[in-house]
Amino acid sequence: AQSVTQLGSHVSVSEGALVLLRCNYSSSVPPYLFWYVQYPNQGLQLLLKYTSAATLVKGINGFEAEFKKSETSFHLTKPSAHMSDAAEYFCAVSANSGGSNYKLTFGKGTLLTVNP
């Protein structure tokens, strides 16, 4: 079984500041990791995914995440926050384990607020 913990249900940054959203995972087999963003009253949009190739993954809108196996982490970063980044961010894991690879297991989400 796999699980995801997102540290901090709410993160507030100033426009132009570094964005750091934390995600730790638990998986008994090598995981596949995803970050999704959800704007108000919308579905989920994929930001980036890790599939065991490069450990540093670049996504859309200037976001990137680094897979650290030793720390079981997959934190999301962006060097400079923009007002349009304000949204809820979800980390998710799937794993190639006994046919359960179809299922995404999500964290509880982190609401990002960007202050002018």
Partner 1 sequence: DAGVTQSPTHLIKTRGQHVTLRCSPISGHKSVSWYQQVLGQGPQFIFQYYEKEERGRGNFPDRFSARQFPNYSSELNVNALLLGDSALYLCASSFFMSGVGTDTQYFGPGTRLTVL
Applying CB under 8 A, which residues contact partner 1?
4, 32, 34, 36, 41-46, 49, 51, 90, 92, 94-96, 99-109
Q: Least distance in Å: CB of 51 to partner 1?
A: 4
Structure tokens at 109: 């989400």
Residue number, 87 or 95, with CB nearest to partner 1: 95
Closest separation in Å from C-beta 12 to partner 1:
17
Q: Smallest gap, in angstroms, from Cβ of residue 116 to partner 1?
A: 26
Strands 110-115 and 10-14: parallel
- Supply φ then ψ for residue 102, to 5 degrees: -75, -20
* Amino acid in the structure at residue 78: K
Rg of the chain over Cα atoms, rounded to whole angstroms, equals: 14
C-beta of 19 vs 95, nearer to partner 1: 95
- Strand 56-58 and strand 64-68: the pairing is antiparallel
Name the residue nearer to partner 1 (CB basis): 102 or 116: 102
